[in-house]
Each structure stands twice: as C-alpha cells, then as structure tokens.
Chains A and B, each alone.
Chain A
Amino acid sequence: MTILVIADFLEGKDGKTLAAATLNTVAAAAKIGGEINVLVAGQGIGAVAEAAAQIAGVAKVLVADNAAYAHQLPENVAPLVAELGKGYSHILAAATSNGKNILPRVAAQLDVDQISEIISVESADTFTRPIYAGNAIATVQSTAPVKVITVRATGFDPVAAQGGSAAVEAVAAVHDAGTSSFVGEELAKSDRPELTAAKIVVSGGRGMQNGDNFKYLYALADKLGAGVGASRAAVDAGFVANDMQVGQTGKIVAPQLYIAVGISGAIQHLAGMKDSKVIVAINKDEEAPIFQVADYGLVADLFEAVPELEAAV
C-alpha cells in the first residue's frame, strides 16, 4: 500500500507555510500503514515542500509548482491529484476548506465514493466518522480501488514536523482547465494561535452583546495564550469575522481547555467543540444546554466573571 497525502498550506504574512493539519493527516496515513508520499501543489511553494520533506514518516514529496495550481483552484488541482492518485491505495487530505473543496472533485474523477472527516482508522479499508452534527458515529467500509478520504485533524495526534528526510521529486504535469480564476482574498489577521491548533480556546456567543465586548475575551485569551472562537449567533450578529466560528458549519476544535462565554450550547455549536478535554461554561442562564456538557460551570454575569478570571490566571 502506498498513500498519497495532499499537503495543505496557508498564505500568511510570512509567505506560504505548511498547514498544521497536514501533520494530523500524515498521522492518519501512518495508522493505515504503508509508504507515505506527500503532494504539494501550488505556485512558489519551495518552503512548503521543504517542510513536507521533514515530516516524520514521509518517504517522498511530490512537488507540482506551476501558475495553474496557484491558490489551489480545484478545477486544476483535482485532475492532477486524480492522475497521480491512480497508482495509490489511498488519497488523504485534511478536512480544511482546501481539502473539502478539492478532494470530492478528485473522487468523482476517479469514480469512487469519498469518506469525509474520518476520526479514526479501524483498518486499511474501514474508518469512523461523525454524522448528524456529531450525534452519531458511523463506521464505513470502502471497497474502492483508491480510497479517497478527508481527515478531521482533531481526531489524530500530529506526527513530528521534524526528523524525516524524504526525497523531493518535481511533477511536470500541468492541468489548466481554464474554467476558473482567482480574483482576490481577504484574510483575517491575528497574532493569536490558530483556532484549530490552539491548546486553549475562549469562545463568545450572543451573550457578548456586541463586537466591542469581545475585547474582554481577547484580553483573557492573550493571558492564556489561547485562540478566540465564536458561536454562529455572534458571527451572524456581526460581532466577529466568520472564520472564528466554531461548530458543524464552522471549525472543529478539540483543545485541552474550551471556555464558552455567553454561549447557550445549540447542537450545531456542540458539534464543533464537544471533544475538548475540559469544557468550562460561563453563562447567566443556569438552564442553558451548555451546562449539560461543561465540566465546570459558572452561573454568573460574564462581564464580571471574565475580567475577574483574567485577573486570577
């Protein structure tokens, strides 16, 4: 068995960097067993390819550096992955916005069903994944010649980013469908740890009342070295940007400590955070559903409790 892992990368102020979720995806590949190859497709991705070659357990890194693959447009990247992927037993990608965008297109081109957001590997052909917003766990078996799978990063502990010494090989194939083009992007800037990788996450909901009040959470988060998340209510009300949303339709997090402030705890929000190790809820409504999953609940006015908590830690 040989497994192809599609590397995801982020474009930030330091240029393109390997996305942390790639390390969790390699961990899932290691559980399946077999040789692991990593594909890095994009433009100007030398640093990402170098980082990929150092991931522990990776045997080979394939680099497709071409203008056609810039911004990972799925119309161009998917045919490349489908072409390369034919010789592999599994194709894996992290269930990030890039992975979710590209991989189903690959699966359809290979005429196989995809398995989305696996949280465990039972065997080389059997996996588990959450359905119904995490309220049920399905065990799914694939008989496809090439198994196409996205991996929920929080389900797997990342492999070491260092210690590997994979061979790097250039891929010459160029696919340019000509059906799409990149226009622009607007990335939210933050110095706080990335939400999906943070050890501590502080999240605010409708109870924050306005965007300005999120400053209380930012202050607490900065003291804890935490990422800041939000419920859909807070995002829809315009308090914060949508890339901070935690839940079924937002990001899935599983930090060591999740502090939910002014969040009632709807099914859709719980889907994104209920695998956190320790959950703390601060809410003035003691009937709020969030208290049914919280390890520690504090019934209090958040505008008093949060500054007090910040002072105490």
Chain B
Amino acid sequence: MKVLACIKRVVDYNVKVRVKADNSGVDLANVKMSMNPFCEIAVEEAVRLKEKGVATEIVVVSIGPTTAQEQLRTALALGADRAILVESAEDLTSLAVAKLLKAVVDKEQPQLVILGKQAIDSDNNQTGQMLAALTGYGQGTFASKVIVAGDKVAVTREVDGGAQTVSLRLPAIITTDLRLNEPRYASLPNIMKAKKKPLEVLTPDALGISTASTNKTLKVEAPAARSAGIKVKSVAELVEKLKNEAKVL
C-alpha cells in the first residue's frame, strides 16, 4: 500500500526563540531550522512499514516555503521514495494545511496518512484531526504503536489516563506521539541518493484550494519572565522557607 507522510519545517527544538521587538511574531531570521520532531517519527514509521513489507511506496509531503525542500530531501534520505512540496510563503493555519493535504490525498490515494501529533512552533495539535474530518477517514491520534492487518490498522494511543487501542478501517489517518519509535539518522550515501529522487512542486492555486483563514494573530509577546530565586543550603532551610516565606506547605 501507499503511505503518505506529512512533514513541517520548523525552528529547531533546541533553539530558544525570541519575540520580535514590534510584537509581530517570533524572530526566525538566521535561526536553525529542522524537521519537526514529531514529523521525523512519522517518516520513520512509514519507512519501518516499508521494511516490513506492509508499505510499497512512501510519498512525503510538506506545505511551506521553498526552503522546506531541505526537509523533504532529509525525508527522502531517510527512505521516502518521492516528495511533494506545496509551496506557500504565507503562514498557513492548520485548517488551510489540512485542506491542501486533502487535495494531495485525493491525488495520491494513499491507504495510510501519517502526521506528527503537533508542530513544536504553533503547538496546535489540529492538522491530522482536521484532515481526517475532511477525508472522512478514521483517526488514530497520539499513536505509540501501529499495527496494520488486512484492511484495518490497530493504533495504540497515549491518553490522559494511560493507553487506549482503537481499530480503524483503511484508509486512515495517524498522528505520532514521541514514543512511537526512535528515528534513524540519514547516512551520507543515502543523502547523496536522495538528491536524485523526484520532488514535485505544487501551489495552492494549482490545487484549487483557498487558504483564507478565520483566525488572525494580533500580536505575539514574550511571556512574563520568571527570575531565578535563591539557593538554599540545606533541607531544613528549604522547609523553613516553604513554610514561612512561600507558605505553600
């Protein structure tokens, strides 16, 4: 079967971001960008499904700026067969991304679509669920285990109280949690080979999708700073401070 893995280019998870002085957003000039960590897990899971003989082709797709080609090449180096970039310079909402992905799903007809559960920049945790709604497919969100059997997929999900397993009819949508797998590193020969793999570039217009949004970000501010407190010398002093100064015990 064909698997579609969706990835996003985001600021690297180790970067401590700074809010712009005019409060228009976060300063991303000259900041290290990478594949969203949850998306890496999505690609890894697709590759493992191929290694198990479950998947026959892996198509990796990203919606974003021209530079997102770097992350698509990374996914190709990790084992995806071909890539699609839907190029858009705008900052799209999750719904707009889900609509564009729906158009790609219609075109490619994958049996399984794997996304990360959330992007570490917008922290929305929406796109997979929205794509599932638009396609009418079942959704297995926050997946920590995925088993494809016949025309169904069993997904173990991380939920507040522990773990839950659901069975979905294929085609289905899965969003990954951190514990689904440990992504591999791309080897140099694979990085070289990835440069020759096909990468198709589309636009929202070509797909006939409007990316208009009902949300508008008015401003972005730095959170209230929390300053370092004091160092205590002993447990006794700590307990005394908690009781008498902070009054939380």
Contact = CB atoms under 8 A, between A and B. Distances in A.
A96 B167 CA distance: 21
User: Which of B98, B232, B235 gathers the greatest number of chain A CB atoms within 10 Å?
Assistant: B235
A185 B177 contact: no
Interface string A302-313: 000100110011
Nearest to B38: A249
B108 interface: no
A280 B220 CA distance: 29
A296 B162 contact: no
A115 interface: yes
A114 B95 contact: yes
B11 interface: yes
Interface in A264-313: 267-268, 274, 277-280, 286, 291-300, 305, 308-309, 312-313
B34 interface: no
A138 B228 contact: no
A277 B230 CA distance: 15
A136 interface: yes
B123 A132 contact: yes
Given A131-B122, A291-B231, A296-B229, A112 B95 contact: yes
B139 A74 contact: yes
Interface stretch (A35-43, A48-56, A139-147, A203-211): A139-147
Contact of B161 (A75, A243, A267, A291): A243
Interface in A204-259: 224, 232, 235-236, 241-243, 248-249, 251, 256-257
Contacts, number: 262
Contacts of B215: 113, 115, 140-144
Interface residues of A, number: 93
B177 A243 contact: no
User: Which of A136, A187, A236, A279 gathers the greatest number of chain B CB atoms within 10 Å?
Assistant: A136
B248 A256 contact: yes
Given A184-B165, A242-B158, A132 B129 contact: no
Contacts of A103: 129
B162 A116 contact: no
A74 B140 CA distance: 10
B217 A140 contact: yes
B197 interface: no
B246 A107 contact: no
Contacts of B233: 298
Interface stretch (B12-20, B53-61, B64-72, B78-86): B12-20
A263 to B, nearest CB: 16
How extensive is the interface on chain B, given as a class? 35 or more
A280 B219 contact: no
Interface in B112-169: 117-118, 120-134, 136-139, 141-142, 144, 154, 157-169
A151 to B, nearest CB: 13
B98 A108 contact: yes
B95 A298 contact: no
A277 B124 CA distance: 25
Contacts of A291: 228, 231
A162 interface: no
Interface of B: 11, 13-14, 16-17, 19, 26, 93-95, 98, 117-118, 120-134, 136-139, 141-142, 144, 154, 157-169, 172, 177-179, 213-223, 226, 228-236, 238-239, 241-242, 246, 248-249
Interface of A: 10-12, 71, 73-75, 78, 96-98, 100-109, 111-117, 126, 130-144, 177-188, 196, 200, 224, 232, 235-236, 241-243, 248-249, 251, 256-257, 267-268, 274, 277-280, 286, 291-300, 305, 308-309, 312-313
11 contacts: A78-B133, A106-B133, A142-B214, A187-B161, A278-B246, A279-B226, A293-B226, A296-B232, A298-B234, A312-B235, A312-B239
Question: What are the 10 A-B residue pairs with the smallest beta carbon separation, nearest first?
Answer: A295-B229, A108-B133, A104-B129, A179-B138, A108-B130, A144-B214, A104-B126, A180-B138, A187-B162, A183-B165
